[in-house]
């Protein structure tokens, strides 16, 4: 019996998954579920939370709702500069990796937790699996773009959500990568794990949020905004808020307020708009209900752009460019930047009920299965 136990442990693949910010809990949920349901006797997943997001409404609520196991480690890095968040997580992750000695690390998306994870693992020659690999805005002023470029260049498993993401990786120097990781880098379009998560949870969406907010299906617009280039620039932030405030006279606009946006409004003494409806950040199941119920969506979020597409809602993007180019090329989304004219023009157009097509750009809803199986096959 003891020998069997030792043998089982010996052949378990140990994987450290690193998360830190709201969208990463949602991405990790799909993988953790598949590891548990399909590979429980093959994979031990150790979840590490860097603690970048820490408010109950930015963190705990997702672990509870999505039934993700409590992270084994919470590094508590909290808010601060990029160097603080990345450096603090890097130092602590190195200790975790020394203690756990995993066979691989999974990192998600493009936050400072992603970068810290990739740096820590690469220096210890631990293979890195990057989920949501290959995305590019081609705007190196975005901290996320820096994180993506570096993480992709260090990863051995590059799990892309779209064909465009695969094309974006064509230039990578794979000979050098092979030497660093000891593995042949694998670039695969598996589809989008956020699509998996939204399919799994859409039946459970908390539709009562519409009653609580006294809004009706199809008769409101959902908005989110948190990108630093919008929130940290007084002119851009004021322009967007003023435009949305005026447009709220045409149809209610509900905006769950990201703590970054709130703190920047306080810091820059920008008063809360009169008509635009700010609410606290909502849970994932509430967010799904709001996305599903909205007439259309206004956002600068990466995740919300895609979820809008999953729910077949057109989108007004408060950015100059996007990594999810297919939704713009297909006419589902409009890049409006912080330009009052473009915002108002696209908003008026979307109020007229134009119809759109929604091709399956984001896979079949089995991205997590493909990722987990690929890792098990290669690491066994």
* Residue 158 touches which of ligand UD1, ligand UDP, none (Cβ within 5-8 Å per kind): none
Using CB under 6 A as the binding rule, whether residue 145 contacts ligand UD1 is answered as: no
Q: Check 171, 226, 258, 320 and give the catalytic one.
A: 226
x-or-dash pattern for ligand UDP, window 187-226, by CB under 6 A?
-------------------------------------x-x
Name the minimum Å distance from CB 303 to ligand UD1.
8
Q: Is 35 in the site for ligand UDP (CB under 6 A)?
A: no
- The site map against ligand UDP for 238-267 (x = CB under 6 A) is ------------------x-----------
Does residue 229 touch ligand UDP according to CB under 6 A?
Answer: no
Q: How far is the CB of 208 from ligand UDP (least distance, A)?
A: 16
Report how far residue 63's alpha carbon sits from residue 176's, in angstroms, rounded to the nearest whole number: 38
- In the residue annotation, 226 being an active-site residue is answered as yes
Asked if 23 is part of the footprint of ligand UD1 (rule: CB under 6 A), the reply reads yes
d(CA 368, CA 365): 8
Please answer whether residues 304 and 291 qualify as being in contact, where contact means their C-beta atoms are separated by less than 8 angstroms.
yes
Binds 284, which of ligand UDP, ligand UD1, none (CB < 5 to 8 A, cut-off by type)? ligand UDP
Please tell me the distance from the alpha carbon of residue 100 to that of residue 114, in angstroms, as a whole number.
19
DSSP strand pairing (13-19 vs 104-108) = parallel
> Which one, 45 or 291, has the nearer CB to ligand UDP?
291
Number of residues that bind ligand UD1 (CB under 6 A): 18
Query: Which of ligand UDP, ligand UD1, none does residue 256 bind (CB under 5 to 8 Å by kind)?
Result: ligand UDP
Residues 50-109 that bind ligand UDP (CB under 6 A): none
Contacts of 216 (CB under 8 A, 6+ apart): 210, 293
Least separation, in Å, of the C-beta of 286 and ligand UDP? 7
130 binds, among ligand UDP, ligand UD1, none (CB under 5 to 8 A by kind): none
144-151's contacts with Cβ under 8 Å and 24+ in sequence apart are 144/109, 144/110, 144/111, 144/302, 145/110, 146/115, 147/110, 147/111, 147/112, 147/114, 147/115, 148/110, 148/114, 150/115, 150/118, 150/119, 151/107, 151/110, 151/114, 151/115, 151/118
Taking CB under 6 A as the rule, does residue 112 contact ligand UD1?
yes
Asked if 259 interacts with ligand UD1 (CB under 6 A), we say: yes
Residue with tokens 């130092």: 91
297: its two tokens: 């969506």
Binding of residue 60 to ligand UD1 (CB under 6 A): no
Integer Cα distance of 81 and 87 in angstroms = 10
Residue 307 touching ligand UD1 (CB under 6 A): no
**Which segments of the chain does DSSP mark as H helices, in order?**
2-11, 22-39, 60-65, 82-100, 112-123, 143-154, 163-168, 174-181, 193-201, 208-212, 228-231, 234-247, 259-267, 284-293, 302-310, 325-329, 340-351, 367-379
Q: How far is the CB of 331 from ligand UDP (least distance, A)?
A: 22
CB of 291 to ligand UD1, least distance (A): 16
Sequence-distant (6+) residues with CB within 8 A of 65 are 283, 284, 285
d(CA 21, CA 109): 10
Q: Site map for ligand UD1, 198-227, x if CB under 6 A?
A: ----------------------------x-
Q: Which residues are part of the catalytic machinery?
A: 226
**Residues lying near ligand UD1 in the complex (CB under 6 A):** 21-23, 52-55, 58, 79, 110-112, 143-144, 226, 259-260, 263
């Amino acid at each position: 019996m003891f020998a069997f136990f030792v043998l089982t442990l010996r052949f378990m693949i140990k994987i450290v998954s690193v998360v830190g910010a709201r969208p990463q809990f949602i991405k990790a949920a799909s993988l953790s579920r598949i590891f548990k349901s399909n590979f429980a006797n093959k994979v031990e997943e150790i979840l590490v939370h860097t603690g970048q997001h820490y408010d109950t409404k930015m963190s705990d609520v997702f672990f509870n709702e999505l039934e993700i196991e409590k992270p084994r480690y919470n590094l508590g890095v909290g808010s601060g500069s990029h160097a603080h968040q990345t450096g603090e997580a890097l130092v602590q992750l190195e200790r975790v990796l020394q203690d756990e000695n995993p066979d691989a690390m999974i990192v998600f998306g493009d936050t400072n937790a992603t970068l810290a994870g990739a740096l820590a693992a690469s220096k210890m020659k631990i293979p890195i699996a990057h989920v949501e690999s290959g995305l590019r805005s081609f705007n190196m002023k975005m901290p996320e773009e820096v994180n993506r470029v570096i993480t992709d260049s260090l990863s051995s498993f590059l799990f892309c959500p779209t064909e465009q993401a695969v094309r974006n990786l064509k230039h990578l120097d794979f000979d050098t990568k092979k030497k660093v990781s000891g593995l042949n880098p694998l670039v695969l379009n598996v589809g989008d794990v956020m699509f998996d998560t939204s399919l799994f949870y859409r039946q459970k969406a908390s539709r009562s949020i519409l009653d609580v907010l006294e809004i009706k299906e199809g008769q409101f617009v959902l908005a989110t905004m948190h990108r630093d280039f919008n929130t940290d620039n007084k002119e851009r932030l004021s322009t967007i808020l003023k435009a949305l405030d005026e447009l709220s006279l045409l149809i209610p606009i509900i905006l769950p307020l990201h703590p970054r946006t709130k703190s920047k409004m306080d810091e820059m003494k920008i008063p809360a708009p009169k008509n635009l409806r700010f609410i606290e950040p909502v849970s994932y199941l509430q967010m799904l209900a709001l996305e599903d119920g909205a007439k259309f969506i206004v956002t600068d979020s990466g995740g919300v752009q895609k979820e809008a597409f999953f729910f077949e809602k057109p989108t007004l993007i408060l950015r100059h460019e996007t990594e999810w180019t297919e939704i713009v090329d297909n006419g589902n989304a409009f890049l409006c930047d912080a330009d009052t004219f473009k915002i108002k023009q696209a908003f008026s157009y979307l109020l007229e009920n134009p119809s759109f097509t929604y091709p399956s750009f984001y896979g079949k809803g089995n991205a997590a299965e493909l990722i987990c199986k690929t890792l098990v096959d290669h690491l066994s």
